């Protein structure tokens, strides 16, 4: 995961042959989550705009599957 504050986006690079993926964003000071499904047709590099995200610390949880294997990765970023 790479957060680019000046471009207001967060970018994920998935394995080339992933079957299904989704990213869930959770703000530290809120109880609501935002889940975005990702499809293989979009390619392995996916960028998501953060322009509408409120200021604060956000946790991005990326889950994906390749074959029958499931994987997860997460990271924090701050929108100031």
CATH classification of the domain holding 32: 2.60.40.10
Q: How far is residue 66's CA from residue 52's CA, in Å, rounded to a whole number? A: 31
pLDDT in tens, 9-32: 999 998 888 888 999 999 988 778
Q: Give 52-74 pLDDT, tens digit per residue.
A: 999 999 999 999 998 889 999 99
Give how many domains the chain has, as a whole number: 1
Task: Report pLDDT for 28.
Answer: 82
pLDDT of 50: 96
pLDDT of residue 15: 87
Residue numbers of the domain that contains 10: 2-79
Buried/exposed 52-68: b ≥16 CB within 10 Å, e otherwise: ebeeeebebbbbbeeee
Q: What is the pLDDT of residue 37?
A: 93
């Amino acid at each position: 995961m790479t957060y680019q504050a000046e471009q207001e986006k967060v970018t994920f690079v998935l394995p080339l042959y992933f079957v299904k993926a989704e990213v869930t964003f959770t703000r530290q000071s809120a109880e609501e989550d935002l889940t975005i499904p990702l499809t293989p047709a979009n390619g392995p590099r996916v960028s998501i705009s953060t322009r509408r995200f409120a200021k604060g610390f956000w946790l991005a949880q990326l889950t994906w599957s390749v074959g029958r294997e499931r994987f997860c990765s997460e990271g924090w970023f701050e929108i100031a």
